[in-house]
A and B are shown apart, each in its own frame.
Chain A
């Protein structure tokens, strides 16, 4: 049998690896006496790290079982199993030192190697599945909380799937699935779907700029990775992306070198307001520049695409041959008669008034009936402006 102390120290990238760690933990010396793992001195599991230099709460799926439950593999609810006070980057040689610190108990040390970490859990903890919670930057808590929730729910999903699989594996050789077991498996599956799908649906229904203030290319990669991880129940992958997300957004906030970056990390509404403020101040060029940058950084945003469109400089071009004609007869008529039609639309063809009235729609209709609209010139005689 593979030794759990080494088997659980690597990085896990998919659910299958997670199950291997779970099973190995269950095979720790003395596992038959669960939940008395303290007899083994320490338990070890692989978790993903939060962020270097930051603490976080280590959560785990307790698989403490009574002797009666042993053999049935019934995981309990997800619950916190330890507090991560500090995370440090170490190399392989340093792992042993940290392990020793962790073995002392109350203050778990969670050195990591980049893709995963080896957590030394305090004694008297039975752990089969671990996940972490990143401390979100305040401005991004709305977003990262969704990631954390997704991580949590995927962990639960994995556990539920595992439980269901165990039931199936145990029962299938004999083809004696009881109705109760079948119902429970089905319920587990439904629960898993109900937990995960709304979270991920809400997450992906948000516009990119509402999700995070990172560049579009990275965001697209991130979204694809999250979809993949979710499809494969890869809780570690999700956790890794949450960490990546936080580090990048934190950097974006602290290193914001211009108004766009700062506002972008906040909200669309802020940036929208900034554009309108600049326009009100007559700074059209500045507003145009921000709209262009925002649109390029947030290609999925209709708002900034529209701002970019309306604030773009006019684009002029020549087309075809001349289609105009002399309007000197219309000019003569307008010079002579406009004072008689204050507040009205007039439709002219040459020096003929073909329709007039306050409603453009009606004047168009009259002109259409009087010989057609083509070549007609419509003019509105403005009312006298207030003094």
Chain B
């Protein structure tokens, strides 16, 4: 049995987290004939690159993946990383290398979020850059709002853990 104070603390625990910033969440609802399924992406900036890149927000992904083309711009290669384990994905089993690389989530409200994240770089990965659990999301408190109308962008709320 827990005390009222314990119950309060438990109940307030997750809700007590105050998000410190929010960025655009692009909800890409596609037509049935389009190749990729529904995706929700955020804009990311990487050190040394002026432009921003979309990254798939995927709470179901075990790891973070970085597209090899993007990794090449950052001078990261699968061979120079620590060997990642075979990862089963919708594109098949992927082997690659782990790299550590900072990523910035530009905020539209509050402050930008910078995460020193771990990525798998693989020549076998044909998909998008993915913000997965290990290496990124597990270090971040986050929440999503899909937007009030179909034309709105969503919102990705965040705070460092």
Kindly provide the distance from the CB of B143 to the nearest chain A CB, expressed in whole angstroms.
14
State whether the Cβ of A367 lies closer than 8 Å to any Cβ in chain B. Answer: yes
Given contacts A317-B160, A383-B126, contact A339 B31 (CB under 8 A): yes
Kindly provide the distance from the CB of B81 to the nearest chain A CB, expressed in whole angstroms.
7
Given contacts A314-B118, A316-B161, contact A324 B91 (CB under 8 A): no
- CA of A280 to CA of B110 in the docked complex: distance in angstroms? 39
Given contacts A326-B108, A334-B26, contact A377 B35 (CB under 8 A): no
- CA of A156 to CA of B13 in the docked complex: distance in angstroms? 72
Number of A-B contacts (CB under 8 A): 182
Q: Tell me which of B21, B69, B91 contacts A385 (CB under 8 A).
A: B91
State whether the Cβ of B100 lies closer than 8 Å to any Cβ in chain A. Answer: yes
Q: Which residues in B have their C-beta under 8 angstroms from that of A361?
A: 69, 72-73
A309 near B100: Cβ-Cβ < 8 Å: yes
- CA of A359 to CA of B152 in the docked complex: distance in angstroms? 30
Q: Which residues in B have their C-beta under 8 angstroms from that of A178?
A: none
Q: Which residues in A have their C-beta under 8 angstroms from that of B107?
A: 322-324
B54 near A279: Cβ-Cβ < 8 Å: no
Interface-side segment among A51-59, A87-95, A368-376? A368-376
| Closest A residue by C-beta to B52 | A377
A342 near B51: Cβ-Cβ < 8 Å: no
B35 near A381: Cβ-Cβ < 8 Å: yes
Q: Which residues in B have their C-beta under 8 angstroms from that of A279?
A: 84-85
Q: Tell me which of A320, A322, A331 contacts B153 (CB under 8 A).
A: A331
B36 near A338: Cβ-Cβ < 8 Å: yes
- Size of chain B's interface in residues, with CB distance under 8 A? 73
B153 near A381: Cβ-Cβ < 8 Å: no
B108 near A314: Cβ-Cβ < 8 Å: no
The SS class assigned to the A binding surface is: mixed
| Closest B residue by C-beta to A380 | B128
Given contacts A318-B20, A324-B106, contact A377 B51 (CB under 8 A): yes
- Of listed B49, B54, B113, B158, residue having the most chain A CB within 10 A: B54
- CA of A320 to CA of B113 in the docked complex: distance in angstroms? 9
B112 near A322: Cβ-Cβ < 8 Å: yes
- Size of chain A's interface in residues, with CB distance under 8 A? 57
- CA of A152 to CA of B51 in the docked complex: distance in angstroms? 64
Q: Tell me which of B50, B151, B153 contacts A327 (CB under 8 A).
A: B153
Q: Which residues in B have their C-beta under 8 angstroms from that of A324?
A: 23-24, 43, 105-108, 112
A382 near B127: Cβ-Cβ < 8 Å: yes
Kindly provide the distance from the CB of B90 to the nearest chain A CB, expressed in whole angstroms.
5
State whether the Cβ of A347 lies closer than 8 Å to any Cβ in chain B. Answer: yes
B112 near A379: Cβ-Cβ < 8 Å: no
- CA of A384 to CA of B98 in the docked complex: distance in angstroms? 25
Q: Which residues in A have their C-beta under 8 angstroms from that of B110?
A: 318, 322
B111 near A319: Cβ-Cβ < 8 Å: yes
State whether the Cβ of B114 lies closer than 8 Å to any Cβ in chain A. Answer: yes
State whether the Cβ of A360 lies closer than 8 Å to any Cβ in chain B. Answer: yes
Q: Which residues in A have their C-beta under 8 angstroms from that of B29?
A: 335
- CA of A347 to CA of B99 in the docked complex: distance in angstroms? 25
Rank and list the top 10 A-B pairs by shortest CB-CB distance, nearest first: A324-B106, A314-B139, A316-B160, A360-B69, A384-B35, A310-B98, A322-B107, A373-B50, A318-B111, A280-B85
List 15 extra interface pairs beyond A318-B111, A324-B107, A376-B51, CB under 8 A.
A282-B62, A314-B118, A316-B140, A316-B160, A318-B20, A322-B107, A322-B108, A328-B153, A331-B24, A331-B28, A335-B28, A339-B33, A361-B72, A367-B51, A378-B51
Can you spell out 30 A-B residue pairs with CB atoms less than 8 angstroms apart?
A: A280-B85, A307-B82, A312-B100, A314-B139, A314-B140, A316-B113, A316-B139, A319-B114, A321-B111, A323-B104, A324-B43, A324-B107, A327-B43, A330-B26, A334-B26, A338-B34, A339-B30, A359-B69, A361-B73, A367-B51, A373-B49, A376-B50, A376-B51, A377-B52, A380-B54, A382-B127, A383-B35, A385-B126, A385-B127, A386-B92
